[in-house]
Amino acid sequence: MFFDSHAHLDDDKFNRDRAQVIGAMEGAGISLIANIGDDLETSRKSLVLAKKYPFIYAVVGIHPHHVEKLTESDMNELALLAEEDKVVAIGEIGLDYYYDNSPRDLQKKWFKRQIELAMELDMPIAVHNRDSNADCMEILKKFDIRKIGGIMHCYSGSVQMAKEVVSMGMYISMAGPVTFKNNRRGIEVACEIPLENLLIETDSPYLSPEPVRGTRNDSRNVRYVAEKIAEIKGISVEEVAKQTMENAKNVYRIK
Ligand code: NI
């Protein structure tokens, strides 16, 4: 059974058939899903899904794309959401210098602020980092992340940085791109980083893995990510499923 550690099943792309897609999870061997918010609205929607389905947990937070107009009163609202029973982490939070949808100084400010909130609430963080490695690491190092734990979601950096992230007490989460042809870096990371420090995710509806690349992604496809890691490491898919399940439960503190 698989744990998809990062999905957005609240996304509008599932409006037509969400119940049907979620209903098919158990039969496809998907036993746990973390549904991730990227603003207050989608964080609320994640919580609604988590309350409706026993096997879905919610992660609440503001993505760097959406921080430009954030206020402290939004932080209060986020804190209230985070205190709900099935909310297991603060995320996705971080930096995105690829799209630069929000000014970088504000991205940094609210990334730090949300890590502070996670520390106050004693909750792990789910981090989004795109083309912002240096600033992301600099900010993470300002905190004792080991106290709360965390995840580098959809990891795309180097092996060296992955090792540094792991040494800070965080997990490296592999998504669809590890299955893409010519993704040498992703394969290296999956090879070099011990299974004990890896998670698997879909980031659905985006980033469909091979062999379903280009179609709408959903949590069922997390098995392709697991199969690829198993192939790279020369171990069984069951082993990957079991260990990444344990890892995800550990970071999200799910019993
Ligand atoms: Ni995401």
**Domain covering 2-252 assigned CATH 3.20.20.140 in the classification:** yes
In the three-class reduction of DSSP (H, G, I as helix; E, B as strand; rest coil), residue 50 is classed as helix
CB under 5 Å of ion ligand 1: residues: 203
**Residues contacting 12, CB < 8 A, separation 6+:** none
Give the total residue count for the chain.
255
Q: What is the mean pLDDT of residues 223-246?
A: 98
Ordered by start, the domain boundaries in the chain are 2-252
CA–centroid distance, 128 to ligand 1, in Å, is 7
According to DSSP, the β-strands at 150-152 and 56-60 are unpaired
The string of pLDDT tens digits covering residues 145-202 is: 999 999 999 999 999 999 999 999 999 999 999 999 889 999 999 999 999 999 999 9
CA–centroid distance, 224 to ligand 1, in Å, is 18
CA–centroid distance, 65 to ligand 1, in Å, is 11
CA–centroid distance, 39 to ligand 1, in Å, is 11
User: Residue 76's pLDDT band (boundaries 50, 70, 90)?
Assistant: very high
Q: What is the pLDDT of residue 53?
A: 98
CA–centroid distance, 230 to ligand 1, in Å, is 23
CA–centroid distance, 154 to ligand 1, in Å, is 8
**Residues contacting 120, CB < 8 A, separation 6+:** 79
pTM over 0.85: yes
CA–centroid distance, 76 to ligand 1, in Å, is 22
| Run of H or E including 56 | strand 56-60
